[in-house]
Structure 1
Amino acid sequence: MFENIDTSLIDWSRAQFALTAMYHWLFVPLTLGLAMIMGLMETFYVVTGKEFWKRTAKFWMKLFGINFAVGVATGLILEFEFGTNWSNYSWFVGDIFGAPLAIEGILAFFMEATFIAVMFFGWNKVSKRFHLASTWLTGIGATLSAWWILVANAWMQYPVGMAFNPETVRNEMVDFAAVALSPMAVAKFFHTVLSGWVLGAVFVVGVSCWYLLRKREIEFAKASIKVAAVFGLAASLIVAWTGDISGVQVAKVQPMKMAAAEGLQEGGNGMPFTVVGDIKIPKMLSILATHDIDGYVPGINNLLEGGYQTPEGTIALSAQEKIERGQKAIAALDAFRKAQKEGNKEAASVARRTLDENVAYFGYGYIKDPAHLVPPVGLTFWSFRIMVGLGGYFILFFIVVLVLSRKDKLKDAGWLQKLALWTIPLGYIAGQAGWVVAEVGRQPWAIQDMLPVGAAISKLQTSSVQITFFIFLILFTIMLIAEINIMVKAIKKGPEAIKGE
């Protein structure tokens, strides 16, 4: 069904998509986090009637608007790339993958576009409560946008709710609820969105500490820090909890990703978790992966060789057996389509039966070597540890900030103020590391077990992808520098600059 394509085209297309996705994720989490924090600030204004909270909300809202505008531009390009660079993918599963993206565009963008205008320009034109509702609905719209994007991504990690139609050579949706509410989608949504809340809290604390370092806007900074630190600590704890849920899901449906994230060659029962080097926590990997202290966790070699008992009670096939069954599925599909064209119903029935028996391994038929089923272990391993390590650091960071804030010692803690500034980039690094684990860890699959990236790509000239890669690199870098420049200028002006607005 899919033609052989130069590996350099695959590599460049993957690089272009990764570039776009990573730049996009520089803007999205701050949008999600600031949306909630500015909503809380304005809520305090409406409840208390104090102009102080209105000024505070408007300041963080201004930074939200700068970040939101740039994020939209990168997001649109990302969605277009599915059609330009990954047309086989779009054809093969477009009926399923396109549904959440369409809902995201119609519902979420509609909410954001409608209420963001009221939020920015309606302060003196609508009532306080209506304006507050617009602010929260803008944030809800951004969150709903993330929900449907993450539903689509979760389906790529754990394809459910579909059936393969050999007559159209497409996977078609048969259960929308299964797609929209899969355990993978729910866990990914809360883990990803709340990580954005953590970044938003880190950003607000860091910027506020900059004011404390400069001995200006002291009351504004202290109030912002208290709100953001409480919000950030709560979000960090929930992120850790949802991360545990996601770990169990990954161990169940993407065991190779789990093995790569642990650098585990040989699995077994009661496996330890490797912190770094030879430092291990006994039994911890089994607890994280199975919630059973003696649970079995397969390693990379076990997954390639098969023969172990799966959680469903079956014996795992080897990678070679899966490849052979995938090749049978592809051959049966060709035989079915040929028989259909010739009007041979009996041959079509036989081919269809063979296809149905092996369709679960369809994607493996395009894998040339079992070794290709192993993702980049080093990158996945270290990205996972960076993500988890920084997650633990954020919890400790917010606790220290809250303790000093309650004792009113934060304004004199210059070391913590400087640390808070350096923590802002760590928030971005944690988010990027999480996506590296999610996406690099599932290679070589565009859709887990169903479609490898080599079969998902468009037939393009490698040179055209290279050219657009560098165009996007330059464009996105300019946009990022422009955003940082505008943000810094707005921060330097401070909330006093919008006092009279």
Structure 2
Amino acid sequence: MEQFDFTLIDWSRAQFALTALYHWLFVPLTLGITFIIAIMETIYVKTGNVEWKKITKFWMTLFGINFAIGVATGIILEFEFGTNWSNYSWFVGDIFGAPLAIEGIMAFFMESTFIAIMFFGWNKVSKGFHLTATWLTAIGSNLSALWILVANGWMQNPIGMNFNPDTARMEMNNFWEVLFNPNAINKFLHTIYSSYILAAVFVLGISAWYLLKNREAALAKKSILVAAIFGFIFSVLTIGTGDESAREIAKSQPMKFAAMEGLYYGTDHAPLVAAGILKDDPIPENAKKKDFFFEIEIPSALSYMAFLDGDAFVAGIHDLVHGNEEQGIMSYYEKMERGKIARQALTDFKLAKKDNNEAQISKLTAQFEDEDFLNNYFAYFGYSYFDNPHDIIPSVPFSFYSFHIMVVLGGHFLVLFMVVLFFLYKEKLHQMRWLLWLAVWTMPLAYVASESGWIIAEMGRQPWVIQDLMPTTTAVSNIDINSVIITFALFFITFTALLIAEIKIMLKQIHIGPNEGGH
């Protein structure tokens, strides 16, 4: 492998991960609670019941606190693409930049315009216009997520582009293919639906606390009704989109899929490990077929999850590294060799340009336009940077545990919403103190599940920043490592202070309640 400053790479990755994880503490609540607020205000406008107006304004206040702090982390995150990942930004600027530009021009503009009316337009505009502004704020925030997740989805499954050897950049040739990338669509739907669950748990937990304290019973019960129905619906939809996402991962990122299940050796009728504890993280040559202290398996379920066929063969880590001729799986060794051929062609092109060798330039340009070369050689360009295929295996424990924590907690949320709705219907919810406390303590679990989803999405595709085309090692900027370490420390202190500030302000506002805080 080429010589890279892995200390710089690790610190740059750590800084970006820190910013992203902190940013994602604020984003999902914004995505979901705006729609819950819009639903509550719709009920107010339809019924004329001022109690619903008070409820709407209370939750709007908590949303405003979260939104203001979340914006700060998001701005820093986008700057880091240029400062810490300039090679990546250059390589994919034509593609990655387009969705982010649309997000900034259309979605963020739309969101920021109508949020002002939503907060300050009470008694200044008509009920209908204010309600419209509230709905458009919710739609705008989710449009912001759409374009960012389209960009991220392309990184996981790069399509709709050409490689220009003259500039050594990816250039978009089909905007609609990028937009409707199956990975991006599934990622968007799964991400926003899971964010709606988090917001529903947030509203449910705070409302349950009011019931436990014998306060704001009307607000609490009405809010619980909306949140539990909202959460239940999107829990079901999240399961569906998660199922679709798993199939897409099995198709476009089979190594991530194998790591998610701790599957070292491929098999047909592959069982799904519903729960288990890994022994260690061995390299494939030394791995056992069952490398768990214990596991609970569902027979053939993994094959069905991946291919809708319980008999289907699911590739394991060993199959992907060493290949499996019987199943038509190319080894990482072969991909590395093909990638080196593609990379050598780019090197030859640069030399031909330097020497003004028109014949060679014409020949190599034609090669980079040839479908056979693109599909069979350039598609593995990123593998050329590796000499050891085991360096292309993500952390199996990170992938396995993140995935299973997310799935188990998703099931917990679904059951919680169902049980809460049952006792609410029976008018016994206020008597179920154990259930109310469970709702309160489920709030942090919603954030754990949300962050776990992003950990599997990003850690599971390592070492790729762009799947198969650009490893993380080549994407990082050549900057002074001390500046990265210093800014990491500053960001950690700043973000932690912001998080503590948000929690304190939130708790204070919740303690005040809707009477003073909601007007």
- Tell me the residue number matched to 1:295: 312
Counterpart contact for 1:248–1:289, Cα < 8 Å: yes
Aligned to 1:293, what secondary structure does the other structure show? coil
Partner Cα separation in structure 2 for residue 205 and residue 283 of structure 1: 37
Counterpart contact for 2:2–2:385, Cα < 8 Å: no
Amino acid of the structure 2 residue aligned with 1:390: L
Matched, 1:488 2:501: no
Partner Cα separation in structure 1 for residue 481 and residue 200 of structure 2: 42
Q: 1:299 to 1:385 in 2, by over 3 A?
A: same
**Can you give the 5+ residue segments of structure 1 that lack an aligned partner in the other structure?**
none
- Residues 285-324 of structure 1 mapped to structure 2, 5 A cutoff: 285-308=302-325, 315-324=328-337
Partner Cα separation in structure 1 for residue 205 and residue 436 of structure 2: 7
Amino acid of the structure 2 residue aligned with 1:305: H
Matched, 1:325 2:338: yes
Amino acid of the structure 2 residue aligned with 1:481: I
Pick which of 330-339 and 6-15 moved more: 330-339
Partner Cα separation in structure 2 for residue 124 and residue 171 of structure 1: 51
Amino acid of the structure 2 residue aligned with 1:335: D
Per-residue CA deviations over 1:115-151 (Å, capped at 9, x if unaligned) read: 0000000011000000000001001000000000100
Amino acid of the structure 2 residue aligned with 1:317: M
- Tell me the residue number matched to 1:219: 218
Amino acid of the structure 1 residue aligned with 2:147: W
Counterpart contact for 1:333–1:352, Cα < 8 Å: no
* Identity within the alignment, %: 57
Aligned to 2:329, what secondary structure does the other structure show? coil
- Residues 7-86 of structure 1 mapped to structure 2, 5 A cutoff: 7-86=6-85
Could you tell me how far 1:354 is from its partner in structure 2? 5.3
Partner Cα separation in structure 1 for residue 319 and residue 119 of structure 2: 56
Aligned to 2:311, what secondary structure does the other structure show? coil
Counterpart contact for 2:319–2:329, Cα < 8 Å: no
Name which of 380, 394, 405 aligns with 2:399: 380
Could you tell me how far 1:284 is from its partner in structure 2? 0.5
Partner Cα separation in structure 2 for residue 85 and residue 137 of structure 1: 34
Amino acid of the structure 2 residue aligned with 1:62: T
- Tell me the residue number matched to 1:273: 272
- Residues 230-269 of structure 1 mapped to structure 2, 5 A cutoff: 230-269=229-268
Could you tell me how far 1:3 is from its partner in structure 2? 7.8
Partner Cα separation in structure 2 for residue 317 and residue 267 of structure 1: 14
**Can you give the 5+ residue segments of structure 2 that lack an aligned partner in the other structure?**
277-293
Counterpart contact for 1:161–1:175, Cα < 8 Å: yes
Amino acid of the structure 1 residue aligned with 2:295: D
Instruction: Output the TM-score relative to the length of structure 1.
Output: 0.97
Instruction: Output the TM-score relative to the length of structure 2.
Output: 0.94
Name which of 408, 412, 418 aligns with 1:399: 418
Matched, 1:431 2:444: no
- Tell me the residue number matched to 2:286: none
Aligned residues: 495
Amino acid of the structure 2 residue aligned with 1:134: A
- Residues 131-280 of structure 1 mapped to structure 2, 5 A cutoff: 131-275=130-274, 276=276, 277-280=294-297
Partner Cα separation in structure 2 for residue 278 and residue 359 of structure 1: 40
- Tell me the residue number matched to 2:384: 365
Per-residue CA deviations over 1:445-484 (Å, capped at 9, x if unaligned) read: 0000010000001001111111111110000000000000
Could you tell me how far 1:353 is from its partner in structure 2? 5.3
Aligned to 1:419, what secondary structure does the other structure show? helix
Partner Cα separation in structure 1 for residue 219 and residue 268 of structure 2: 54
Alignment root-mean-square deviation, CA? 1.3
Could you tell me how far 1:498 is from its partner in structure 2? 4.0
Could you tell me how far 1:184 is from its partner in structure 2? 0.9
Aligned to 1:397, what secondary structure does the other structure show? helix
Partner Cα separation in structure 2 for residue 117 and residue 350 of structure 1: 58
Counterpart contact for 1:328–1:354, Cα < 8 Å: no
Could you tell me how far 1:318 is from its partner in structure 2? 1.1
Amino acid of the structure 2 residue aligned with 1:18: A
Partner Cα separation in structure 2 for residue 153 and residue 48 of structure 1: 42
